[in-house]
């Protein structure tokens, strides 16, 4: 049985294809369209999935959309009626789009499938938004039974749910409903601190260690009524998302000492402290919800999804301080993962398809579910453009790249199938030497073109995890934050009077490029059984340096989606100060490339996040 799952029209549109319960392909539309967080109908992602699965003609048995549009539209209408006449402008902006597009999902699916030469199947299903999230969290997990926690901005009505997964079935137990939303609360602070909503939340998380939680009690007192079971109510007097066009309002500004920070302006102590405060409150809420999920289900394991589940600092706290023996988070936890969850829900819960779990290995295949390119395809691309490259024999591939990294150079890598979800996990990555005291600044300012305070993540051999971090289990999807081992830490000057820029440059361990201000790191563990090529590269680096760890950041510049194709990778390589580029078995040196000329200022091509 071949099932296509689709998510679209909010952010991170995607498609996923499942055959007899096995994930064949999954990808976000942004990787093909080159529009970050592209929410449009994912025609390119669908075409890729169908091609990868060879599902031509009458090859599809079912199509599943990740939410129920009519129910969501009902929520919008009821919300407007409850706040009218305030919010009229917001309502008038939303309704035409719904009437023209979002209420016509079956027609759009039929039309796009026809353009791919695929017949529309008779079975068309619509899951609820948080059903799709819960399915994406539980069904690919390694657990036969688990509690499930989903948290995001809003679906149809639900903003957070607790569910119980057993075998091939999920039961919803509790939910929090709009407008009371942890995701929207966090996004309100994202907006207020000058970052882009639905894009810059991870910046807020990265900024938090630079501040103190001096606003946390004020948030608890004025903005949110939190109960012991993790449920809560927002004080809507302070927010603008319900009846306006901004996340916060004038009352919010008065509470926190002035207007929101202007994007791209200097970050002040206020923004640092606000980031730390809302991060602290968010962690408390998620931990309370997790404990309640444990009390309701009695399960040893927890699965998580929804955009808030990408808060890897909170995930680490749930793992350390929560009641569960282990936690598994869907690597594409946001709306993109809803496409996968919708397809898996149809297979397991509608079609009663079988499922097996072994408490060790998940079904995500390392999240390497996107397009891959053969050496023949890459060679043809290089030859057609006259780009000089040398071929690395398989026996030398890892050793030669590791040597370049050990020399302090920065290397872009496109190898194998593209990752599904927001994290680059070695196949569309930029790598560097974690031992370097300047690597974080070099990567941020000369390659990523982003704020200097933003940390980089390590890719570490799974067998060396405990040598570097206080973590006793794998973290394959870069979704857990854990402390760097105390023995590796370096004392730094007291923060008093030191600027943000100077604090970024302080070396805090013998792997300073990946050690954050609070001596933590967002960890990807690399297993030879899941990604043998990337593992071999890091192992070769260890053989040469004694360190089985490298810096890993996504292969893109600020505002750009992660690269998908060799052409995307070469363009990004030439626009930045990367030293070398790996395309499959080919190695390109920047100094040997022809002069690169953009027709326009490429920095205006991407909308800053």
Contact in structure between 508 and 490 (CB atoms under 8 Å): yes
Q: CA-CA distances (angstroms) from residue 501 to 226, 275, 443, 453?
A: 36, 17, 14, 7
Contact in structure between 428 and 28 (CB atoms under 8 Å): no
Antiparallel, parallel or unpaired: β 457-461 and 520-526: parallel
pLDDT of residue 81: 81
- Give residue 410's pLDDT band: very low, low, confident or very high (50, 70, 90): very high
147 forms bridges with which residues in the sheet?
164, 302
Per-residue pLDDT tens over the stretch 465-503:
999 999 999 999 999 999 999 999 998 766 666 666 667
Residue 582 lies in a domain: yes
Q: Angle formed by the axes of helices 335-345 and 129-138, to 10°? A: 80
Residue 233 lies in a domain: no
Please say if the pLDDT value at position 80 is more than 90.
no
Tell me what percent of the residues of the chain surpass a pLDDT of 90: 82
Q: Which residues form the domain of 582?
A: 375-604
What average pLDDT does this structure show over 556-582? 96
User: ∠ at Cα 544 (542, 548), nearest 5°?
Assistant: 10
What rounded mean pLDDT belongs to the chain?
A: 94
Residue 143 lies in a domain: no
Residue 270 lies in a domain: no
Question: What number of residues does the chain have?
Answer: 609
CATH code, domain with 428:
3.90.870.20
Please say if the pLDDT value at position 603 is more than 80.
no
Q: CA-CA distances (angstroms) from residue 233 to 36, 236, 546?
A: 32, 9, 52
Cis peptide before 281 (omega within 30 of 0): no
pLDDT of residue 326: 97
Contact in structure between 141 and 303 (CB atoms under 8 Å): yes
Contact in structure between 347 and 136 (CB atoms under 8 Å): no
What average pLDDT does this structure show over 419-444? 94
- Give residue 97's pLDDT band: very low, low, confident or very high (50, 70, 90): confident
What average pLDDT does this structure show over 374-399? 98
Q: Where are the beta strands (DSSP E) in 152-240?
A: 158-166, 169-177, 224-226, 232-234
Residues classed as catalytic: 11
Please say if the pLDDT value at position 83 is more than 90.
no
Residue 336 lies in a domain: no
pLDDT of residue 497: 64
Name the domain count of the chain. Answer: 1
What average pLDDT does this structure show over 6-33? 96
Residue 283 lies in a domain: no
Residue 504 lies in a domain: yes
Per-residue pLDDT tens over the stretch 264-273:
899 999 999 9
Residue 453 lies in a domain: yes
Tally helices (H) and strands (E) across the chain.
Answer: 20, 21
447 or 297, which is more confident?
A: 297
The answer for 100, left when phi > 0, alpha when psi is -120 to 50, beta otherwise, is: alpha
């Amino acid at each position: 049985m071949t099932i296509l799952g689709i998510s679209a029209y909010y952010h991170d549109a995607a498609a996923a294809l499942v055959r007899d319960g096995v994930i064949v392909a999954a990808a976000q539309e942004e990787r093909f369209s080159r529009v970050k967080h592209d929410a449009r109908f994912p025609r390119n992602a669908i075409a890729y999935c169908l091609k990868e699965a060879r599902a031509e003609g009458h090859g599809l048995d079912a199509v599943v959309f990740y939410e129920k549009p009519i129910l969501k539209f009902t929520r919008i209408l009821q919300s407007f009626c409850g706040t009218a006449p305030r919010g009229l402008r917001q309502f008038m902006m939303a309704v035409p789009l719904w009437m023209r597009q979002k209420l016509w999902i079956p027609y759009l699916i039929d039309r796009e499938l026809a353009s791919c030469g695929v017949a529309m199947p008779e079975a068309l299903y619509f899951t609820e938004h948080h059903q799709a999230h819960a399915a994406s969290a539980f069904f690919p997990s390694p657990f036969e039974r688990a509690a499930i926690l989903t948290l995001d901005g809003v679906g149809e009505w639900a903003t957070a749910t607790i569910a119980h997964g057993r075998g091939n079935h999920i039961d919803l137990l509790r939910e929090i409903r709009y407008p009371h939303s942890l995701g929207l609360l966090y996004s309100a602070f994202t907006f207020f601190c000058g970052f882009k909503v639905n894009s810059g939340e991870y910046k807020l998380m990265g900024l938090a260690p630079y501040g103190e939680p001096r606003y946390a009690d004020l948030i608890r007192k004025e903005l949110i009524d939190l109960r012991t079971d993790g449920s809560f109510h927002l004080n809507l007097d302070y927010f603008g998302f319900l009846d306006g066009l901004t996340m916060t309002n004038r009352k919010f500004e008065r509470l926190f000492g002035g207007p929101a920070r202007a994007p791209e302006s200097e970050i002040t102590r206020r923004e640092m402290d606000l980031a730390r405060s809302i991060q602290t409150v968010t962690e408390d809420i998620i931990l309370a919800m997790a404990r309640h999920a444990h009390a309701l289900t009695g399960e040893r394991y927890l699965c998580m999804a929804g955009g808030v589940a990408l808060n890897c600092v909170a995930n680490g706290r749930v793992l350390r301080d929560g009641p569960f023996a282990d936690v598994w988070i869907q690597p594409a936890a946001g709306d993109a993962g809803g496409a996968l969850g919708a397809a898996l829900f149809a297979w397991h819960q509608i079609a009663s398809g079988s499922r097996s779990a072994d408490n060790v290995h998940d079904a995500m295949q390392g999240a390497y579910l996107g397009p891959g390119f053969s050496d023949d395809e890459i060679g043809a691309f290089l030859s057609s453009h006259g780009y000089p490259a040398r071929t690395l024999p398989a026996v030398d591939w890892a050793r030669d790249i590791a040597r370049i990294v050990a020399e302090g150079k920065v290397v872009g890598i496109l190898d194998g199938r593209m990752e599904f979800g927001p994290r680059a996990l070695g196949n569309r990555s930029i790598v560097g030497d974690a031992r370097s005291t300047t690597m974080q600044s070099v990567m941020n300012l000369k390659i990523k073109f982003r704020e200097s305070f933003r940390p980089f993540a390590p890719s570490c051999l799974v067998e060396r995890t405990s040598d570097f971090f206080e973590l006793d289990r794998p973290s394959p999807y870069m979704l857990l934050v854990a402390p760097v081992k105390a023995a590796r830490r370096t004392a730094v000057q007291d923060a008093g009077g030191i600027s943000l820029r100077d604090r970024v440059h302080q070396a805090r361990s013998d792997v300073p490029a990946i050690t954050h201000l609070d001596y933590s790191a967002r960890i990807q563990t690399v297993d030879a059984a899941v990604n043998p090529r990337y593992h071999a590269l890091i192992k070769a680096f260890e053989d040469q340096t004694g360190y089985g760890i490298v810096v890993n950041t996504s292969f893109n510049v600020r505002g750009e989606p992660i690269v998908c194709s060799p052409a995307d990778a070469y363009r990004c390589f030439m626009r930045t100060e990367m030293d070398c580029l790996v395309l499959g078995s080919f190695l390109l040196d920047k100094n040997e490339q022809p002069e690169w000329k953009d027709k326009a200022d490429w920095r205006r091509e991407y909308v800053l996040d």
